[in-house]
Amino acid sequence: FMKRRKKWSRYPPGPMSLPFVGTMPYVNYYNPHLSFEKFRKKFGNIFSLQNCWTNVVVLNGYKTVKEALVNKSEDFADRPYMPVYEHLGYGHKSEGKSFAKTVFLYMCHSSVVTESGLVLARYGHLWKELRKFTLTTLRNFGMGKKSLEERVTEEAGFLCSAINSEGGRPFDPRFLINNAVCNVICTITYGERFNYGDETFKKLLTLFENSLHEEVGFLPQLLNVAPVLLRIPGLPQKIFPCQKAYTDFTQKLIDKHKETWNPAYIRDFTDAFLKEMAKGKEAEENGFNKNNLTLVTSDLLAAGSETTTTTLRWAFLFMLLYPEIQSKVHKEIDKVIGRNRPPTMADQVNMPYTNAVIHEVQRCGDVVPMGLFHMTYRDTELQGFFIPKGTTIITNLTSVLKDETVWKKPNEFYPEHFLNENGQFVRPEAFMPFSAGRRACLGEQLARMELFIFFISLMQKFTFVLPEDQPRPREDSHFAFTNSPHPYQLRAVPR
């Protein structure tokens, strides 16, 4: 008892907790970074919050986040139980277990949960199996290899043609970029791409965008810590209509796909997963079941599309706002690649300035500002603070990407952050848009390839200019789980 009391006396400080609601009323859930900055100034880099009865610890600054995610990687590798996603099939609902049992199973042991998806999976055997399988399968389909690069290059060609058909008139590039990025991940996952302008795809895009908004605000946070409210019949569907519709949409893609499945010929990720499922009971226990196929593939699409699209939207916004940087990128492309040959990843080493610009876009865009929630896997210590097992951990990636002890001009777009005095490319360790450690982004390699090839292909063909008579676009971001630019228009003038 004394030992426990001593440990808890070293629990991170934080604002005073109120009965029942804890510290929830103090946090602005529409702009959490503002609240976090305020608490950080008052309590330091490691502070605690309380969502009703759930302990939450927020980690800030490069040193702290690195120490947790890299040096104590396993201690921080778990994910919290998220009841708000149960209606989508995550967890035991599909097995018909009672609510109490579901919570009990989650709390006790992750390996008994067989419907976990990948992104939200508890740390343990099941997550390891699925992550290993996903990485290997993506690699076999060319992730990091030539064939995927060719696919990205081909899609970049389609994107250039679509932008060319805008005829230099003002347009919002968001839909076309998203279409291209989704096509890459859809081809790998479902073996399907959508033509630009496709109505089905437009529907998917709208559903996904709205489903991100459904995650923001006070209510989802409250439901996660007081899941009993989700037992009210029909409530989850009412509060999260788009999330469900999005998962149903991906389910339809899989059903369509199954009709043409031939185990002798693996066309894509879904085929590889179906083959694994066909191995029987052991595979089932390792997470290769029908529900997980839907969850893992929709995880890949969700995790891989919005993030990459938003980063590219930031890239072209910064090109509009900083024409002198745009013209330096043009010069380097002309020198290294020329105007006709498509770019390849091998060009990257010869293009330090453009590479620095892409990295600075990711740093400034800060697309996943709060990372994904982690949870401590065991009791642990961080910089002298005690953090018990089962504590929800928020890694404030904004505080790393804008850490004033690391970056010379943290709040400015300054590609020189990634160049040394000889103009060579350098990558400071605090560059963590993909997070770090065991749960770091699984798609980093693919994302970096897409950013490089898409960005260069478009910059090679066009100069991006602000439409006359339109105000200078806003440089601040809009938070809805991701940090995205406010909608803007540009003109793509062929070079």
| Interface region with ligand HEM, contact rule CB under 6 A, candidates 98-106, 170-178, 307-315, 335-343 | 307-315
C-alpha dist (Å) from residue 486 to 77, 310, 367: 33, 10, 13
Instruction: For 57, list phi and psi in degrees, rounded to 5.
Output: -120, 135
Strand 54-59, strand 46-51: pairing = antiparallel
Question: For ligand HEM, which is the closer residue by CB, 368 or 453?
Answer: 368
3-state secondary structure of 494: strand
- Is residue 57 part of the contact set for ligand HEM (CB under 6 A)? no
| Interface region with ligand HEM, contact rule CB under 6 A, candidates 46-54, 154-162, 302-310, 379-387 | 302-310
- Is the separation of the CB atoms in 438 and 97 below 8 Å? no
Question: For ligand HEM, which is the closer residue by CB, 141 or 462?
Answer: 141
Other beta carbons within 10 angstroms of residue 148's beta carbon come to 21
- Is residue 443 part of the contact set for ligand HEM (CB under 6 A)? yes
Instruction: Name the token pair of 108.
Output: 């006790």
Instruction: For 223, list phi and psi in degrees, rounded to 5.
Output: -65, -30
Q: Which string of x and - marks every residue 358-397 that binds ligand HEM (by CB under 6 A)?
A: ---------xx--xx-x-----------------------
- Is residue 308 part of the contact set for ligand HEM (CB under 6 A)? yes
- Is the separation of the CB atoms in 116 and 295 below 8 Å? yes
| Interface region with ligand HEM, contact rule CB under 6 A, candidates 148-156, 157-165, 275-283, 427-435 | 427-435
Q: Which residues contact 324 (CB under 8 A, 6 or more apart)?
A: none
C-alpha dist (Å) from residue 408 to 93, 323, 403: 50, 22, 9
CA separation for the pair 469, 487 (Å, rounded): 16
Residue with tokens 């740093």: 363
Helix (H) or strand (E) holding 478: strand 477-480
- Is residue 435 part of the contact set for ligand HEM (CB under 6 A)? yes
- Is residue 446 part of the contact set for ligand HEM (CB under 6 A)? yes
Question: For ligand HEM, which is the closer residue by CB, 70 or 239?
Answer: 70
Interface pick for ligand HEM out of 304, 343, 369, 415 (rule CB under 6 A): 304
Question: For ligand HEM, which is the closer residue by CB, 160 or 182?
Answer: 182
Question: For ligand HEM, which is the closer residue by CB, 257 or 374?
Answer: 374
| Rounded least distance, CB 147 to ligand HEM, Å | 15
- Is residue 275 part of the contact set for ligand HEM (CB under 6 A)? no
Size of the site for ligand HEM (CB under 6 A): 25
Question: For ligand HEM, which is the closer residue by CB, 21 or 70?
Answer: 70
- Is residue 447 part of the contact set for ligand HEM (CB under 6 A)? yes
- Is residue 433 part of the contact set for ligand HEM (CB under 6 A)? yes
* Alpha helix positions (H), 343-438: 352-365, 397-401
| Rounded least distance, CB 120 to ligand HEM, Å | 8
Instruction: For 202, list phi and psi in degrees, rounded to 5.
Output: -60, -40
Interface pick for ligand HEM out of 240, 385, 418, 434 (rule CB under 6 A): 434
Instruction: For 217, list phi and psi in degrees, rounded to 5.
Output: 110, -175
From the number of C-beta atoms within 10 Å of its C-beta (0-12, 13-18, 19+), residue 221 rates as: buried
Residue with tokens 């400034």: 364
> Which residue minimizes CB distance to ligand HEM?
443
Q: In the range 124-153, which residues lie near ligand HEM by CB under 6 A?
A: 131
Q: Give bridge partners of residue 300 from the DSSP assignment.
A: none
Question: For ligand HEM, which is the closer residue by CB, 135 or 219?
Answer: 135
Interface pick for ligand HEM out of 24, 118, 295, 387 (rule CB under 6 A): 118
Provide the angle, in degrees to the nearest 10, between the axes of the packed helices 241-258 and 199-214: 140
CA separation for the pair 425, 311 (Å, rounded): 20
| Interface region with ligand HEM, contact rule CB under 6 A, candidates 101-109, 225-233, 241-249, 301-309 | 301-309
| Rounded least distance, CB 71 to ligand HEM, Å | 14
| Rounded least distance, CB 468 to ligand HEM, Å | 32
Residues forming contacts to ligand HEM in the complex (CB under 6 A) are 118-119, 131, 299-300, 303-304, 307-308, 311, 367-368, 371-372, 374, 433-435, 439-443, 446-447
